[in-house]
């Protein structure tokens, strides 16, 4: 048993932290987010330069030989700096699908692009009426002999405005929520029949509704087995959940630190509010929630490679804990900052917003609690879902 980071991981952490500190301060970030593009694309290039985008890939795939722990390190730093760049959509999800199930040709076409940052993937899984159920799909992919024809509407695809490619889940057979009959495709954003409606999100990112109208997808763009894509989708979603948890830990840690710092300086009735025992204990509770979230994130990340049921339980348990902790830490960070915490101008509110929205991503507390409970009861149908 070992909770140490490798030298490479520590290096990644340090250089990323420095880069963010120097090039992505609060005002720079704000300007980038409110620009038309909604990001500072130069950051992405620098991340690529640092090797971040190749860190979690095996050497065989052309990467640095790292794994999910490297992604965890990256995302925790992203969280600390509220970085909105599409590491999870492109590297964790796009890269994850390719790494786990991509054909040699698919890898050849895309892995290099992902690692260099030239290709950006977005993961188009959610649908307007499907909530967090990954199998609840109305998007269809009909085989037409040489390939597939996609029709459907994907909701709130994070990072889609910046994407060059989508990973799209679609139903190739079965009923709307059946575990069987799900297939996964790579779709180029500029393919004929693909259209998007782009918008900002409440926490400063960009997303799109993505529409597929008779989009022809060649058979070689199918990732993994036809009709049996759900286990793969669940696996990648769990990897994304672990990375999201790591991000949340970064966010929470800073929100907590800012709050403690503020409470030391802010005086009320002539006393720093950090001297009020009620606020002290609340900041202690924030501290404990953060510590436990870090523990759960380690746990979930380390268990990504274990049996399917262990992996799923671990990811869901972590997401539950992080959802609850994030809500508490975010709300109390605002409360202790008082009126100032309510202003756009202070950073803490943005940390609060990001924590809030992390819970609403890839399944909220209730969703993962239910999944965890079903897995604990050994309910095979849900376990397979």
Q: What does R_g of the chain's alpha carbons equal in angstroms?
A: 21
CB of 277 vs its own copies, minimal distance in Å: 4
Q: Is 276 in the site for its own copies (CB under 8 A)?
A: yes
Largest CA distance in the chain: 78
Q: What minimum distance in Å lies between the beta carbon of 264 and its own copies?
A: 17
4, interface contact from its own copies, other proteins, none, CB < 5-8 Å by kind: other proteins
If binding is defined by CB under 8 A, does position 263 make contact with other proteins?
A: yes
CA distances from 266 to 93, 253, 261, 274, 329 (A): 42, 20, 9, 8, 19
In the chain the first and final C-alpha atoms are separated, in Å, by 31
CA angle 14, 100, 175 (to 5 degrees): 125
**Nearer Cβ to other proteins (79/117):** 79
Q: Which stretch binds other proteins (CB under 8 A): 88-96, 106-114, 238-246, 344-352?
A: 344-352
Q: In the block, which residue shows the tokens 């790292």? A: 66
Q: Which does residue 302 bind out of other proteins, its own copies, none, counting CB within 5 to 8 angstroms by kind?
A: other proteins
Q: Name the minimum Å distance from CB 95 to other proteins.
A: 20
Interface with other proteins (CB under 8 A), residue from 37, 42, 219, 288: 288
Whole-angstrom Cα distance, residue 5 to residue 237?
24
What CA–CA distance (Å, rounded) separates 92 from 81? 19
User: Which member of 149, 156, 226, 384 binds other proteins (CB under 8 A)?
Assistant: 156
Pick 5 or 276: Cβ nearer its own copies: 276
**Binding of its own copies at residue 281 (CB under 8 A)?**
yes
- One of 146, 277, 307, 381 touching its own copies (CB under 8 A): 277
* 317 counts as binding other proteins under rule CB under 8 A: yes
Q: What is the sign, positive or negative, of the torsion defined by CA atoms of 260, 262, 265, 267?
A: negative
Among other proteins, its own copies, none, residue 211 binds (CB under 5-8 Å by kind): none
**Cα separation of 351 and 326, whole Å?**
10
Q: Give the pairing of strands 165-171 and 121-124.
A: parallel
Residue from 225, 268, 309, 380 that binds other proteins (CB under 8 A)?
268
Parallel/antiparallel/unpaired status of strands 147-158 and 267-268: unpaired
Say which entry of its own copies, other proteins, none residue 15 contacts (CB below 5 to 8 A, set by partner kind): none
Q: Which does 364 bind (CB under 5 to 8 A by kind): its own copies, other proteins, none?
A: other proteins
- Compute the least distance from the CB of residue 378 to other proteins, in Å: 11
State how far the Cα of 55 lies from the Cα of 12, in Å rounded to an integer.
Answer: 9
**What is d(CA 122, CA 300) in angstroms, rounded to the nearest whole number?**
23
| Residue number with CB closer to its own copies (137 or 279) | 279
User: Rounded CA gap, 208 and 137, in Å?
Assistant: 18
Segment 109-148, which members bind other proteins (CB under 8 A)? 126, 128-133, 136
Residue 276 CB, nearest distance to its own copies (Å)?
6
Q: Which residues of 321-340 are buried (b: 16+ CB within 10 A; e: fewer)?
A: bbbbbbbbbbebbbebbeee
One residue of 42, 202, 219, 380 binding other proteins per CB under 8 A = 202
Kindly tell me which of 48 and 382 has the beta carbon lying closer to other proteins: 382
SS (H, E, C) 40-98: CHHHHHHHHHHCHHHCCCCCCCCCCCCCHHHHHHHHHHHHHHCCCCCHHHHHHHHHHHH
Q: Decide if residue 338 touches other proteins (CB under 8 A).
A: yes
Stretch that binds other proteins, among 77-85, 182-190, 222-230, 330-338 (CB under 8 A): 330-338
Residues 37-96 that bind other proteins (CB under 8 A): 69
Structure tokens of 16? 């990323």
From the list 246, 349, 354, 355, which residue makes contact with other proteins (rule: CB under 8 A)?
A: 349
Contact between 307 and its own copies per CB under 8 A: no
Cβ within 8 Å of residue 115, ≥6 positions away: 48, 53, 54, 57, 62, 63, 95
* Residue in 311, 326, 313 with CA at minimum distance from that of residue 359: 326
Q: Find the binder of other proteins among 62, 227, 295, 308 (CB under 8 A).
A: 295
Member of 278, 339, 378, 381 binding its own copies (CB under 8 A): 278
Give contact residues for its own copies (rule: CB under 8 A).
Answer: 276-278, 281
């Amino acid at each position: 048993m070992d909770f140490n980071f490798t030298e490479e991981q520590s290096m990644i952490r340090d250089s990323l932290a420095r880069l963010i500190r120097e090039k992505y301060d609060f005002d720079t970030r704000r300007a980038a987010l409110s620009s038309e593009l909604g990001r500072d694309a130069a950051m992405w290039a620098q991340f690529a330069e640092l090797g971040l985008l190749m860190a979690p890939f095996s050497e065989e795939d052309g990467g640095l030989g790292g794994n999910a722990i490297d992604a965890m390190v990256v995302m925790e730093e992203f969280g600390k700096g509220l970085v909105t760049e599409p590491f999870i959509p492109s590297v964790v999800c796009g890269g994850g699908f390719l790494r786990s199930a991509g054909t040699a040709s698919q890898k050849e076409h895309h892995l290099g692009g992902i690692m260099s940052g030239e290709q950006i993937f977005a993961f188009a899984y959610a649908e307007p009426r499907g909530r967090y159920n990954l199998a609840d799909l109305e998007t269809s992919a009909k085989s037409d002999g040489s390939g597939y024809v996609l029709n459907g509407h994907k909701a709130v695809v994070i990072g889609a405005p910046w994407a060059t490619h989508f990973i799209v889940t679609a139903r190739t057979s079965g009923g709307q929520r059946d575990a069987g009959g799900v297939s996964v495709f790579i779709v180029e954003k500029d393919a004929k029949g693909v259209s998007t409606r782009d918008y900002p999100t409440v926490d400063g990112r960009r997303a799109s509704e993505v529409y597929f109208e008779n989009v022809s997808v060649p058979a070689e763009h199918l990732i993994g087995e036809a009709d049996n894509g759900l286990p793969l989708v669940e696996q990648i979603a769990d990897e994304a959940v672990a990375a999201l948890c790591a991000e949340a830990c970064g966010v929470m840690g800073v929100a907590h630190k800012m709050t403690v710092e503020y409470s030391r300086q802010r005086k009320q009735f002539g006393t720093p509010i950090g001297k009020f025992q009620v606020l002290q204990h609340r900041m202690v509770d924030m501290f404990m929630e953060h510590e436990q979230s870090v523990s759960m994130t380690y746990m979930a990340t380390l268990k990504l490679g274990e049996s399917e049921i262990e992996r799923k339980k671990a990811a869901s348990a972590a997401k539950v804990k992080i959802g609850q902790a994030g809500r508490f830490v975010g709300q109390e960070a605002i409360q202790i900052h008082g009126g100032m915490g309510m202003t756009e101008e202070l950073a803490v509110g943005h940390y609060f917003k990001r924590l809030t929205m992390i819970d609403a991503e890839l399944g909220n507390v209730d969703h993962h609690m239910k999944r965890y409970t079903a897995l604990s009861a050994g309910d095979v149908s849900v376990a397979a879902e």
